[in-house]
Structure 1
Amino acid sequence: MEYILAFLSLFLYRYARLVVNLWAYHRHKPITPSRASKLTSKDVTVVIPSVDGHGVRLIHTLQSILQNSPQKVILVTIKKNHMKAEEMIKSLQSLQAIVKVITVHKPNKREQMAAGIREVATKITVFADDDDVMWTDSLLQWILSPFEKTTRTGAVGTCQRVQRNPVQSISQSVFRFLGALYIERRNFDCAATVHIDGGVPCISGRTAAYRTSILQDQNFIQGFCNETWGGNELDPDDDNFLTRWMVSQGWDIHIQCHPDALVSTMLEDNPNFLKQCLRWARSNWRSNLRSMFVEMFIWRRHPYSTYAVYLTTLSPPALVGDAALIWLCNKATEDLMLHHWLLGLLVVWMFISKFIKFLGYFQRHPSDIILLPISILFGYVHGVIKLYAACTLHVTRWENRERPDGTGKEESPRNQANKKHLVCNWKKYTHFLWTVAWPAGNIRLQLHCFGLGMLNRMNELGVLSYRDICIFVLLQVLDMGSLTAAIRIFLLLPLEDYWIKKLKIGSFERIMALSGDFHENNDPNASADLISEAGSFEYQMAAIFLQLGPLLLDALLALSTLYYLETRAAFCFIVVVVFYFCVQNLGPQEDLQRQRFHSLKREKSVVCQSVLNWATVSYFNGFKREKEGLVEAVDTQLDYKKKSAIRSMFKTTMETSGFAAGFVGACLATARGVTQGDRPVGGLFAMLTYWTRLSEPLKFTVRQIGTLREQAVKMEPFIEIFEKTPTVVDPEEDAPSATINSGNIDFDRVNFSYDGRRPIFEDFSFKIKSGQTIVIVGATGSGKSTLIKLLLRQYSPQSGTIRIDGKDISRVRMETVRENIALAPQHPGFFVNTITDNIRYANPKASDADVHEACRVAAIHDQILKYPDRYDTVMRADKLSGGERRRLAIARAFIKNAPLLILDEPTNDLDNKTAAQIRHNMLRRTRGQTTIVISHDINLMKDADKIIVIDSGKVVEEGNHRTLMHRQGHYYKLYTGKM
């Protein structure tokens, strides 16, 4: 009886929902459009988030959308692909709607959707995929009809079908078939649950409509863009969030299932379809778990839908459920005839349940019926995919939205902050070492690696046969030790040189290629130390590639021999190995190593800061405070060192005890075999020999792993540098050069913020004509220096365009932009080198006469001649006054002879006579050259062709001195000191 009850319970659990859904699906009716509809296609804006921003599939999608005549289509792509998107839009003929392209900085679907939402001005917003989504000509009419029927409708979903394009192989047919059934199953479940209680598992992101007022709620945008899972920001799962938000705010959802409300779409027709299923499964797991255990309001509003979610999420895989039903049916019946009948009926029912949802599909495509067994098999495989998805919910990236430049998705600041255990990520660490250490493409160095590995094994030979002993004696006579040492040095030197060079130059290139945000927010001394210390990591390369590899291979061979000699001894050794590695992983050892490493850096920083700022310390009599700070740093470092030593002693004791116990066990096991006659007496000595042979590699490997763990902590900043990508990059490898002929500059509606919260520029626009001298004035912090950084492409604006001679500087190579601009910054930097070399740095081809002439223009020539070594004087920052540094910076800018000259506060720190001389020389030297001067010097303002006044990130006034004084606006107040 208990088997019958169990069978009936499981049968109802698995199939009651199917029966109810079949009834509901056939009862569900779409809401037909009304002829007197108040909502029309002109009340709709379509938002399409896309990474590429161009392509044949996207063109097809746009064409089908435009046939529905929406008011506006907003294509949201990344800044790098803005030009391609604009060109694609221009190629579309007879546009029936406004098509606007907007950009975001990095590929992030939710950020792209939010950016599009902010641009919407219509009542209804429709999100559409960019992946070849084809609309019917009347789709918008059907989408809008539920919104008119009731004002409580907040979202309307669509049904989809997979496009049946010609296929080229059997595998494509199979995967297309599986994708089509996946979509059909989803349509079936959504229509059924909506009909029963108005709920839906998830609104499809392929095409869905929402009331714009809901989406533009700041609470929605905040939650939508900042949803996390396990501390990581969610890029996918946007449709799940939208569904839950509608329910949480009391809005109704409707699904339109009708041929005129159909969306044709594309799925992968190759093994990547399985990856799609995995991504969908992860999204469903995350959303369903939230629905069931966190957002309990869903139970109250849509109990049947939540019940369906519960079954979908927590039901065992289909293979387990079907097997359990068959087993229970077999146990529940004792009568043989009835037993066979019931089993037969159960199998028939199971078969029917596998395809009854798809009757409509098979009616449309009867030839696909032969693929039904594959669908049934895939149903069982999908259970495994769901289990794997449940184990990998921490994967929150959107795999098909990788960066087009191949660098991968840029990690958000929140995710970077949560990555506290980089040393534990051995996959990343090993990948980094492999890419840096292995001399790919250099066969000679690869042979060196192989030779060193073999040589290391020769130097550590232990147990030898008689023939080996003879060879060994012969080689000893030939002084093998000295010979192998010489060969080792010969083989190792080129590899060490290769590693040091690659590490140091590679880290230098990485750091120098990073944008201004990195260099302004990080200590330059720390970056320089990182490059200098890079060469010390070649120890890890040698340990991993030249010692650990051959050693582990040697140990494997010895263990195989030991297993052949005495199985129980080999088992004892394996237990010892497992014990060793368990001891190695006791406690949060990486955290302790990381804390000790940071304490060493802190100690070094305290010393460097105190010594570098000796003058400041002496001004304020702070020697005692600095000493106390150093004592505290040293004590902290020694405390961590002590903790590390204690932990190391504890582990060593544990390892020694475990090894001794394993050794005793192996000896007893072998001795027992000898005493019972199962093994010869020599077997004990052979076991001891191979045990000894194995013990050294084990101990060495454990020591190396411990050392590598410590080194890995030190390498964390190094690996982070190699993972960073510049925020300002060239658009393409073959991007055009920025050749400046006239020097016209145009800032067109530029918006910029350093941190994304406090705007520096908002719709910032101005124009400079060729040959003009422009003075830019404004209060402190108004963004004058930021303007220079944007021109030099140290930063990129969030939106807007900067043009020089009509060319968008974001679409040309950075180096060519900088080649055409000469800058004298407000806080100039110089190398510890001669005055001549520092000035010539701007123009390496300049002669000494050119250097002297530039210094005359900057009014510093006579001062230099008073130095003992004149122009050969080695510059030290602490030996120069502020005025001298500024004039040398002006000379360096003049000698470059660039079409565009920028001077930032050129007359600050100068006496009136010197300032007047520089103004006179500058006016003479820059005649006909486009010059931007940032200054509050009244005399420079009077001589300027135009003055641009900046306030709160906007240009508030433009004109010459006389005009602006007459207006008595911002400039007048600045000039008269009333502001």
Structure 2
Amino acid sequence: MRHGHFDSSADEQVSWATLKQLIPYLLEFKGRIFLAMLCLVAAKVASVGMPFILKNVVDGLDLESGTQQMIAVPIALIIAYGSLRLANVLFGELRDTLFGRVTERAMRRIGLTVFNHLHSLDLDFHLSRRTGGLSRDIERGVSGVSFLLRFMVFNIVPIVLEVSMVLGIFLFKYDPWFAVIIASSIVAYVGWTVKATEWRTRYVREANEADSKSNTAAVDSLLNYETVKYFNNEQYEANRYDKDLASWETARRKNRLSLFALNGGQALVVGVAMTLMLLLTGFHIIDGSMSIGEFVMVNAFMMQIFMPLNFLGFVYREMKGSMANIEKMFSLLRQAPKITDAKDAKPITVTKGEIKFNRVSFHYKSNRPILKNISLTIKPGQKVAFVGSSGAGKSTLMKLLYRFYDPTEGTIEIDGAPIDQVTQQSLRQHIGIVPQDTVLFNSTIGDNIRYGNVKATEQDIQNAIQHAYLQDFIDQLPDGVDTLVGERGLKLSGGEKQRVAIARTILKKPPILLFDEATSSLDSHSEQYILKAINEVSKNHTSVMIAHRLSTIVDADVIFVLHQGEIVEQGNHQQLLDKDEHYANLWLVQQKQRQHSKIPDKA
């Protein structure tokens, strides 16, 4: 049709059962829905009544006598016609207003349900998903709910109601052939529209794909402007772009011709139906069984029926697309989280902060074990560190402790309570983490620190800033704690972001602290600030550090050395150096690297 655009998901096979999934979200406003339906019926009764009034007006004006008494009748009818038209519009507006609240609340409820569900899904789902695609799925799904409900109530149902009433009128009051012509023409019109719309969707999709491809090629080429110039490939890029534009031109031509076929077929059906109806009416006027007014009435009825049907191709295609989008959104709700609370899970209360790994093994894929039979105890208040080469399983230990994953074998306990038997919410409430890559919200420094405890006072935030050694940095900023950090915190350096993360964790006040390579990507100056902050916050807490730079954990009570998923050594810094094995070798390599980096370049 001439209206709207095509969504590539519209040609998916979608069951109408999708509508059933919306029913629970609509039941909140049963009274409003009932009143909206009454208004819909009232609007259609007024709409069907208008051609009858028009008939009587024409018949009244057609009378030979021109006395004032006879003229008064058509004037009254004209006023009645205007009143019915006004009633039709007012009832329609009232229906829209009443049902609008239902639609908006359903959209809000569904959007919130999906949002909460996504947060309940496991880390594995979020690592493999595309954020942009996911947000578009939700956006399109919620918009699809609005479109589907609006057009079901404002377009499809009114058309069906009006056609039924008109068919009944012609069937019982006039020649049944009128009803046969109307019914046949509507079946033909709808059938052709559905068939032609299905047929032309592939051309619309081809045009959209060609448009996207040419646009991508142009943007990619312009982004790589320097590379194009370096290799003198301007003509190659132009030819490639023109080839994509040629595909777009062909697809658009097919799309245009298919639109002509669709509109032409619809016009043919309407033209034939109107002609047959008016011819039949003409014959009845000649034999005296119908009046001139009824000729006008038949014409008005046909116009009223076919005008809303003119949008059918657009509505059908968009409704299919909406149902595909809604189904995609509801499929997210059917995605079950792999990590769930046990049925009898109770909140955990951490008083000491003792952590035990009992014969813990873990793998993402069965043919690639990450951790093998890990058993260890971290005593209350201890500062321990895990070191080892990349891929040894250090970060996985933290993810297991935070219960982003469950061990393949074995158990993890905190203060004697298996963590898979307590609620995830209470477990994570007692653990604070400073990740390797700190991601901040696009808000102020103060808001990002407050995220550790949204109920914290300004004094609490100030204390956290002091303990994280952030005060000097904040004092240098014109806006202080109200400074915006930018998308993902990109306006701050790595060291500044890490200190914000530490301040956030201090504000949370957890008994157990995790530091995942918190200084691995920082310069020596920033590292010293972070280490001071870590030492400050670690007092009287059980703290676990994953370290890449061994110089940052020389004061740890216990250092566990991981190699290929197993603990191969444990002890403090001096004990491990005395063993002269894995840890000592790592220490030696890093010391040489540090000495080498201090030698000035003589080139």
CA distance in 1 between partners of 2:212 and 2:202 (Å): 15
CA distance in 1 between partners of 2:337 and 2:87 (Å): 52
Contact 2:358 2:410 in 1 (8 A): yes
Task: Please tell me whether residue 780 in structure 1 is matched to residue 367 in structure 2.
Answer: no
CA distance in 2 between partners of 1:898 and 1:433 (Å): 42
Farther-moved stretch of structure 1 (707-716 vs 587-596): 587-596
How big is the alpha-carbon RMSD for the aligned residues of Structure 1 and Structure 2? 4.4
How does the TM-score come out when normalised to structure 2?
0.76
- Aligned with residue 482 of structure 2, among 847, 855, 872: 872
Aligned pairs (5 A) from 1:105-504: 423-436=12-25, 438=26, 440-454=27-41, 456-457=43-44, 460-461=47-48, 463-465=50-52, 473-474=79-80, 476=82, 483-484=90-91, 487=94, 490-504=97-111
Contact 2:137 2:325 in 1 (8 A): no
Contact 1:766 1:955 in 2 (8 A): no
Secondary structure of 2:567 counterpart = strand
- Aligned with residue 127 of structure 2, among 512, 520, 529: 520
Q: Which amino acid aligns with 1:552?
A: V
Deviation sequence 1:408-443 (CA, Å, 0-9, x none): xxxxxxxxxxxx98832232432344444x2x1323
CA distance in 1 between partners of 2:137 and 2:219 (Å): 15
Aligned pairs (5 A) from 1:660-739: 660-661=271-272, 680-681=289-290, 685=295, 691-696=302-307, 698-713=309-324, 715=326, 717-732=328-343, 735-739=345-349
Aligned to 1:342: none
Contact 1:452 1:492 in 2 (8 A): no
Displacement of 1:775: 1.0
Task: Please tell me whether residue 558 in structure 1 is matched to residue 170 in structure 2.
Answer: no
Aligned to 1:508: 115
Task: Please tell me whether residue 883 in structure 1 is matched to residue 526 in structure 2.
Answer: no
Contact 1:507 1:534 in 2 (8 A): no
Aligned pairs (5 A) from 1:536-551: 536-537=143-144, 538-551=146-159
Displacement of 1:507: 3.5
Deviation sequence 1:809-857 (CA, Å, 0-9, x none): 3333222122111111111111122211111110123333332332333
Aligned to 1:209: none
Q: Which amino acid aligns with 1:936?
A: H
Contact 1:890 1:903 in 2 (8 A): no
- Aligned with residue 412 of structure 2, among 782, 802, 805: 802
Provide closer, same or farther for how the CA distance between residues 640 and 498 of structure 1 changes in structure 2, counting only shifts above 3 A: farther
Aligned pairs (5 A) from 1:63-74: none
Provide closer, same or farther for how the CA distance between residues 947 and 490 of structure 1 changes in structure 2, counting only shifts above 3 A: same
Aligned to 2:426: 816
CA distance in 2 between partners of 1:508 and 1:790 (Å): 24
- Aligned with residue 767 of structure 1, among 362, 374, 377: 377
Secondary structure of 1:585 counterpart = helix
Aligned to 1:742: 352
Displacement of 1:934: 0.9
Secondary structure of 2:432 counterpart = strand
Contact 1:903 1:934 in 2 (8 A): yes
Deviation sequence 1:150-180 (CA, Å, 0-9, x none): xxxxxxxxxxxxxxxxxxxxxxxxxxxxxxx
Secondary structure of 1:832 counterpart = coil
Displacement of 1:774: 1.8
CA distance in 2 between partners of 1:800 and 1:596 (Å): 56
Identity between Structure 1 and Structure 2 (%): 24
Deviation sequence 1:916-942 (CA, Å, 0-9, x none): 343344334313311111112223332
CA distance in 2 between partners of 1:789 and 1:423 (Å): 38
Displacement of 1:740: 2.0
- Aligned with residue 943 of structure 1, among 555, 575, 578: 555
Displacement of 1:944: 1.4
CA distance in 2 between partners of 1:673 and 1:757 (Å): 85
Secondary structure of 1:543 counterpart = helix
Provide closer, same or farther for how the CA distance between residues 622 and 465 of structure 1 changes in structure 2, counting only shifts above 3 A: same
Farther-moved stretch of structure 1 (595-604 vs 789-798): 595-604
Q: Which amino acid aligns with 1:736?
A: K
Displacement of 1:609: 9.8
CA distance in 1 between partners of 2:213 and 2:376 (Å): 46
Greater helix share, structure number: 2
CA distance in 2 between partners of 1:606 and 1:821 (Å): 47
Provide closer, same or farther for how the CA distance between residues 769 and 829 of structure 1 changes in structure 2, counting only shifts above 3 A: same
- Aligned with residue 260 of structure 2, among 639, 649, 654: 649
Displacement of 1:784: 2.6
CA distance in 2 between partners of 1:758 and 1:449 (Å): 60
Secondary structure of 2:570 counterpart = strand
Deviation sequence 1:713-749 (CA, Å, 0-9, x none): 55564344344333323334x6311222222223344
Task: Please tell me whether residue 933 in structure 1 is matched to residue 524 in structure 2.
Answer: no
CA distance in 2 between partners of 1:567 and 1:909 (Å): 84
- Aligned with residue 518 of structure 2, among 903, 906, 920: 906
Q: Please list every run of 5 or more consecutive structure 1 residues that lacks an aligned counterpart in the other structure.
A: 1-419
**Relative contact order, CA 8 A, sep 6+: which one is greater?**
2
Aligned to 1:958: 570
Q: Which amino acid aligns with 1:794?
A: F
Contact 2:43 2:87 in 1 (8 A): no
Provide closer, same or farther for how the CA distance between residues 839 and 748 of structure 1 changes in structure 2, counting only shifts above 3 A: same
Count of residues in correspondence between the two structures: 550
Task: Please tell me whether residue 892 in structure 1 is matched to residue 504 in structure 2.
Answer: yes
Secondary structure of 2:392 counterpart = coil
Aligned to 1:835: 445
Displacement of 1:447: 3.8
Contact 1:823 1:902 in 2 (8 A): yes
CA distance in 1 between partners of 2:82 and 2:425 (Å): 61
Displacement of 1:970: 3.2
Aligned to 1:270: none
Q: Which amino acid aligns with 2:316?
A: I
CA distance in 1 between partners of 2:281 and 2:80 (Å): 35
Q: Which amino acid aligns with 1:901?
A: L
Contact 1:731 1:812 in 2 (8 A): yes
Deviation sequence 1:623-654 (CA, Å, 0-9, x none): 999x9899998887777665444433322222
Task: Please tell me whether residue 972 in structure 1 is matched to residue 561 in structure 2.
Answer: no
Aligned to 1:29: none
How does the TM-score come out when normalised to structure 1?
0.49
Aligned to 1:57: none
Q: Which amino acid aligns with 2:119?
A: M
Contact 2:354 2:380 in 1 (8 A): yes
Contact 1:858 1:890 in 2 (8 A): yes
Aligned pairs (5 A) from 1:592-611: none
Task: Please tell me whether residue 861 in structure 1 is matched to residue 471 in structure 2.
Answer: yes
Aligned to 1:381: none
CA distance in 2 between partners of 1:699 and 1:431 (Å): 28
Aligned to 1:305: none
Q: Please list every run of 5 or more consecutive structure 2 residues that lacks an aligned counterpart in the other structure.
A: 1-8, 58-75, 594-603
Displacement of 1:897: 0.9
CA distance in 2 between partners of 1:636 and 1:770 (Å): 68
Aligned to 1:293: none
Provide closer, same or farther for how the CA distance between residues 950 and 712 of structure 1 changes in structure 2, counting only shifts above 3 A: same
Provide closer, same or farther for how the CA distance between residues 601 and 506 of structure 1 changes in structure 2, counting only shifts above 3 A: farther
Q: Which amino acid aligns with 1:951?
A: H
CA distance in 1 between partners of 2:341 and 2:215 (Å): 37
Aligned to 2:71: none
Q: Which amino acid aligns with 1:442?
A: F
Contact 1:775 1:933 in 2 (8 A): yes
CA distance in 1 between partners of 2:11 and 2:421 (Å): 36
CA distance in 2 between partners of 1:808 and 1:846 (Å): 30
Provide closer, same or farther for how the CA distance between residues 801 and 427 of structure 1 changes in structure 2, counting only shifts above 3 A: farther
